[in-house]
Structure 1
């Protein structure tokens, strides 16, 4: 059974950190403390700047804001998949349909 506090995003374009190639990224459901300094409405609207602030707090392996913003490291399709998982975590189950 999968853990509702985590999502795994299989990457279309694997990336390397050091000598390790990563084919997936685990995203953790944020807690209130990790949402500090962000705007919930902007996050729910997939605002890129807000997601670049939040995602480094939630990804395993940890990915910096600069790495997330670099299309040579994280492909835009993979970034979008990470963002979608965060939005799902932030959306109440009653609204997910």
Structure 2
């Protein structure tokens, strides 16, 4: 008999899906969720890691178009609901942690 820990799929620490409180409207399409993937070092070019870890809006506006699916534009990010932008910032900030530290944060 499997325990709940054994039957649940393993958490992918390299991506996070966010359900938006306020959908992003793109033409006739309504984007209700986005997936963020862990950025590579090259995708962090031109951004201070300290600013990104502090969820600086300008830093997020530079990085999010590089790591979102569907790919969001700078203008779309600028029009995001602040609660949704905060969720994106939390996800990006967690990507900057070591995997073991992220696992420990989930258990705590």
Shorter chain as denominator, the TM-score bin is 0.7 to 0.9
Gaps of 5+ in 2: 1-8
Aligned equivalents of 1:95, 1:5: Cα separation in 2: 13
Matches within 5 A, 1:1-97: 1=9, 2-70=11-79, 74-96=80-102, 97=105
Gaps of 5+ in 1: none
Aligned equivalents of 1:7, 1:35: Cα separation in 2: 17
* 1:68-91 superposed Cα distances (whole Å, 9 cap, x missing partner): 112xxx211111111110001112
| Deviating more after overlay: 45-54 vs 13-22 | 13-22
Aligned equivalents of 1:22, 1:45: Cα separation in 2: 26
Pairs aligned (count): 94
Q: CA deviation at 1:94?
A: 4.4
Q: CA deviation at 1:95?
A: 4.1
Aligned equivalents of 2:19, 2:26: Cα separation in 1: 16
8 A Cα contact 2:20 2:34, kept in partner = yes
TM-score normalised according to structure 1 size = 0.87
In terms of Rg, which structure is larger?
Answer: 2
> What is the root-mean-square deviation in Å for CA atoms of aligned residues?
1.4
